[in-house]
Structure 1
Amino acid sequence: MLKLAELLCLAGLHITFLNTEQHQQRLVKFTDASSRFSKFPSFRFETIGDGISNDKCREDDKLKSTFMAIDTVIKPALRELLILSRQRAEEWPPVTCIIADGLMSFSIDVAKEFGIPNISFRTVSAACFWAYLCIPKLIEGDELPFKDDDLDKQITCVLGMEGFLRRRDLPSFLRAKELTDPWLQIVDSQSSKSMQASAFILNSIEELENPMPSHIGTLACAKVYTIGPLSALLSSKKNSTSSTSLRAVDRSCLTWLDSQQLKSVLYVSFGSIAVVTAKQLLEFWYGIVNSGKPFLWVIRPDSIIGERQIPEELMLATKERGCLVDWSPQEEVLAHSSIGGFLTHSGWNSTLEAITAGVPMLCWPCFADQQINSRYVDAVWKIGLDMKDMCDRSIIERMVRDLMQDRKDEFKKSSEKISNMVRSCVEEGGSSFQNFERLVEDISSMSL
């Protein structure tokens, strides 16, 4: 969202960035966002509370309280901001367009109430969003909910993916055995509601995910702007990177990487949310160490469930050829010449960053869109390996060696080919570059 906001500021638009107070505090603490955006007189931050208690509760209760807070706290706060924007038109131009996260479909109702367009920004892959939109077809075709535990059964009701999609490759929220499953209901209802948006922004590339963006546009009867990868598009316009991390970054790992050989290091990170059990941690640790490859591993302090008890042999091996950090400057790490592979949770941002850098991936997806992203990495783009639903040290060891040794040249060639294609799309004349220019023109015309 911040990178999209910065791109729109560079294009000369007035931007109000609405953030929760909790996230804004972390943004100010860990990034240069305040100073970076202060150079844009046409930009301002606004904050609201999220209305969610920090008390410990069951996940189902958290889910319920989150969506209750949207109706009781966030939706009214958005209405109030829009009213104030009209009352203070002399101080700041009134809002003429809302760009909202795709799961925040309540913004569509508010936008309609004020007679302004609402653009839905989908932060997952186009393939994942299309799978969500196919939920009614999956139910009609008796492919949802699952009737048994066979996760390798082919899925045939997602247009364009009939040849390679299995149950285990569907977004995790669709792994339901009952239509009453709360996550399935929320994803279905939010996706259905979002189809009322005036247009869609996808952090993707037409050539990478075809024909999914066109399928989405046809079903929604709305414009679809594929303008990704946003990080690469922003870098092409300002020739520098922008930090949006909500955690303290440890840059010492870059110095460690400088001492390693070309394309020799396995980078390991499961993102900002995913967690692993203490047992899974050990399986990964043994598998990575036994592969014999040097490794840089991001282990967030809050990412382990259970007590960490690491055998001495693992600590010694890590001291010899590993580097552990709490958090890393990931885009810089992936662009480093020493990185030869990426063991990832297959979040869409991480996937795009690896694709842009031309780094092959070993995928261990956890939830949401990650399952379908990892399938594309392996079966469609052929730029890595999919290890979903497995966590065994011998398998991890073998697949790390496949990625970085036995099939290294194969993955290097395919990754570089797709990386070059993606980079050309964000340069002047490329599809993402042109789609962004079209987006800016269309948003500008909304204020006339």
Structure 2
Amino acid sequence: WPLQGHINCMLHLTAALLDAGFRVTFLHTEHNLSRLARAALPPGLRLLSVPDGLPDDHPRSVRSLKELTESMFTTGSAAYRALLLSLRSDSDAPPLTCVIADGIMPFAVDIAEELGVPALAFRTASACSYLAYLSVPTLVELGEVPFPADDPVRGVPGMEGFLRRRDLPRGVGRSEDGAFDPMLLAIAEGIAHAGKARALILNTAASMEGPALARIAPHMRDLFAIGPLHAEHDAAASLWSEDDSCMAWLDGHGDRSVVYVSLGSLAVISHEQFTEFLAGLVATGYAFLWVLRPDMVKTTGSVLREAVKEAGSKARVVEWAPQRGVLRHRAVGCFLTHGGWNSTLEAAAEGVPMVCWPFFADQQINSRFVGAVWRTGLDMKDLCNRAIVQGKVREAMESGELRGRAHAMAQQLKLDVAVGGSSSSDLERLVGFIRELRSSIVISSKYASVTSLFLHHH
């Protein structure tokens, strides 16, 4: 799926498959492939692309996701079918063993299977959010619509004790009370469709999300929990140019003395919200590194620069940061994040406490798990004023309990991805699963070929 968060996760999977000895083709949209020319991609990875059906000057922003979706499901799917047919008929290339398709694109699974190519689904979000999406028919029946309210939710099995309506996945706009966002309904339908794939792959660990995995498994033909993939199979491909100079800036600060702030690749905030965030961060007294994309705040760049300049030498702003390196840096004491799954996993793997301000989709439920289940951070959803920002950030920077639990989770995840760990064992099982698919196909090539469908954009 053509979004930065999906690109990150999918590239880590390609690195794991390449390490296992497979040949891998990584499928982008043409728009994204042109933006990723500078990426540090794994050696041996073949790149192909299809059009997403939108003009070059289309913003492809969070507020045009409906247009992107409609175009991908029409123009994109037709181009994908044509490409898959040409790959199957290419006698000079190794035969296709399987397709691994982003779990948000059911057409990619269906078309592959129609053409005789086994298809697996890879969902790049958390297991807890996946289970919430699977539960959408029950939520609709119960009238438990995503809404900023504290009413308990009964419609997601296993989460009755802590999930609230404000924690359910949401669209970009606010849902009206009593109405369910059509976009969320479409996503939920597509996610449930993964049950028709040969298997579902999730970038998570049983130690983090065992109960949710157990409830998802009966709906799937097979299930693999192989994360966090970046911890053992790192790869990088950013749609923005990373500002590495912020690493030297971090070097000049003491241990756990800097707040890292990034709301991801899609979130947009108002000028008023920007002002409250900035005032709250300044009031903490801590230095902060803030990722502010050019398209993130609804105001002019000069206004932003002047506002940050007034914050003084403790503020450092970049358009995009090498996030995994930042989170590993000794100077970072907490992470103010949107709670996207990649960011959540990256902070968890480094033992960095989080303050979550989710924007939409799965981020809502991820932040609830951070605050109420794992208790490795604080959930600040639906709140944005300087006093709350100041209080939550200070607590995350100074709480020994939060830091201790975050550190314990990081240690457990290291065990999960190490040889013999649950995620490592499931990855081995996945490799074996793909090799069995290969053995069921008459091939003359020495190597298996895995086509991984990661259709991306920003």
**Structure 1-normalised TM-score?**
0.90
| Cα drift, residue 373 of structure 1 | 0.5
Q: Is residue 179–residue 185 contact of structure 1 (8 Å, CA) maintained in 2? A: no
Letter in 1 for 2:428: E
Q: 2:85 aligns with which of 70, 83, 86?
A: 83
**Partner residue of 2:108?**
107
CA contact (8 A) 1:13 1:444 kept: no
Q: Which residue of the partner structure matches residue 315 of structure 1?
A: 309
User: Residues 372-392 of structure 1, C-alpha deviation per residue, up to 9 Å, x if partnerless?
Assistant: 010000000011111000110
Shift of 1:441: 0.8
Write the distance in 2 (CA, Å) between the matches of 1:58 and 1:178.
29
Deviation at 1:395, TM superposition (A): 0.9
Q: Which residue of 2 aligns with 1:420?
A: 411
- Residue from 152, 157, 179 that aligns with 1:159: 157
Deviation at 1:176, TM superposition (A): 5.5
Distance 1:364 1:84, change over 3 A: same
Task: Measure, in 2, the Cα distance between the counterparts of 1:389 and 1:83.
Answer: 47
Cα 1:111–1:44 change in 2 (3 A) is same
CA distance in 1, matches of 2:148, 2:339: 23
Partners of 1:289 and 1:314 within 8 A in 2:
no
Match of 1:68 among 67, 70, 92: 70
Deviation at 1:429, TM superposition (A): 0.5
Secondary structure at the aligned position of 1:342 is classed as strand
For the structure 1 residues 300 and 58, does the alpha-carbon distance in structure 2 shift closer, same or farther, using more than 3 Å as the test? closer
After TM superposition, the structure 1 = structure 2 runs for residues 376-391 of structure 1, keeping only pairs within 5 Å, are 376-391=369-384
Cα offset, 1:62, TM superposition: 3.9
Over the aligned positions, Cα root-mean-square deviation in angstroms equals 2.2
| Corresponding position of 2:144 | 143
Partner secondary structure for residue 225 of structure 1: strand
Structure 1 position 16 matched with structure 2 position 25: yes
Cα distance in 1 for residues equivalent to 2:304 and 2:47:
44
> Are 1:353 and 2:346 an aligned pair?
yes
Q: Structure 1: 5+ residue runs without aligned partners? A: 235-240
Paired letter, 2:421: G
1:13 is matched by which residue type in structure 2?
A: F
1:259: which partner in 2? 252
- 3-state secondary structure, aligned to 1:414: helix
The 1:217/1:293 distance shift into structure 2, 3 A limit, reads same
Tell me the SS of whatever aligns to 1:266.
Answer: strand
d(CA) in 2 for partners of 1:438, 1:176: 44
Partner of 2:450: none
Q: Deviations over 1:197-242 (max 9, x none)?
A: 111010100110121112111123x1111011110021xxxxxx43
SS of corresponding position for 1:324: strand
Provide Cα deviations, 1:238-260, integer angstroms capped at 9, x if missing partner.
xxx43222211111111111110
Q: 2:135, 2:341 → 1: CA distance?
A: 20
In the alignment, what sits opposite 2:182?
182
Kept after mapping to 1: 8 A contact 2:353/2:377: yes
Distance verdict in 2 for CA 1:6–1:58, change over 3 Å = closer
Which of 437, 441, 447 is the equivalent residue of 2:432?
441
Note the alpha carbon deviations across 1:365-421, whole angstroms, 9 max, x for none: 00111110100000000111110001100111111111112x2x1111100000000
Corresponding residue for 1:292? 285
Judging changes above 3 Å, is the alpha-carbon distance between structure 1 residues 178 and 50 closer, same or farther for their aligned structure 2 residues?
Answer: farther
Q: Which residue of 1 aligns with 2:40?
A: 32
SS of the aligned residue for 1:305 comes to: coil
In structure 2, distance between residues paired with 1:249 and 1:129: 30
1:337 aligned partner, one-letter code:
R
Structure 2 counterpart of 1:8, one-letter code: L
In the alignment, residue 373 of structure 1 is paired with which amino acid? N
Preserved CA contact (<8 Å) 1:167 1:175: no
Structure 1 370/61 Cα, relative in aligned 2: closer, same or farther at 3 Å? closer
Encode CA deviations 1:301-329: one digit per residue, 9 max, x unaligned. 1111123535968524332x121111111
**Contact 1:176/1:184 (<8 A) preserved:** no
| Match of residue 238 from structure 1 | none
Q: What is the CA–CA distance in structure 1 between the aligned matches of 2:13 and 2:152, rounded to whole Å?
A: 36
User: How far has the Cα of 1:143 moved from its partner?
Assistant: 2.0
Q: Secondary structure at the match of 2:36?
A: helix
Structure 1, 127-136 or 270-279: larger mean CA deviation? 270-279
Contact 2:148–2:382, Cα closer than 8 Å, also in 1: no
- Tell me which residue corresponds to 2:94: 93
Structure with the larger RCO, 1 or 2 (CA within 8 Å, 6+ apart) = 2
1:430 paired to 2:429: no
CA contact (8 A) 1:121 1:200 kept: yes
Contact 1:233 1:433 in 2 (8 A): no
- Report the Cα distance in structure 2 between the residues aligned to 1:276 and 1:61, rounded to whole angstroms: 12
Partner of 1:237: none
Conserved 8 A contact 1:282-1:310: no
The answer for the alignment partner of 1:207 in structure 2 is 207
Task: Give the whole-Å Cα distance in 2 for the aligned partners of 1:313 and 1:85.
Answer: 53
User: Structure 2 counterpart of 1:212, which letter?
Assistant: A
Q: CA deviation at 1:85?
A: 1.8
One-letter identity of the residue aligned with 1:129 = Y
Percent identity among equivalent residues? 42
Which of 396, 399, 408 does residue 403 from structure 1 map onto?
396
Mean Cα deviation higher: 46-55 or 336-345? 46-55
Q: CA deviation at 1:116?
A: 2.6
Corresponding residue pairs, total:
427
Quick check: 2:62–2:266 contact (8 Å CA) kept in 1?
no
- 1:272 equivalent to 2:265? Answer yes
2:19 and 2:307 mapped to 1: Cα distance?
Answer: 52
Report if aligned partners of 2:31, 2:56 keep a CA contact under 8 Å in 1.
no
Change (3 A) 1:6 1:178: same
Match of 1:46 in 2: 48
SS at match of 2:355: strand
The answer to which of 8-17 and 377-386 deviates more is 8-17
C-alpha separation in 1, matches of 2:225 and 2:14:
16
Q: How far off its partner does 1:344 sit? A: 0.5
Distance 2:57 2:32 in 1: 17
CA 376–180 in structure 1, closer or farther in 2 if over 3 Å, else same = closer
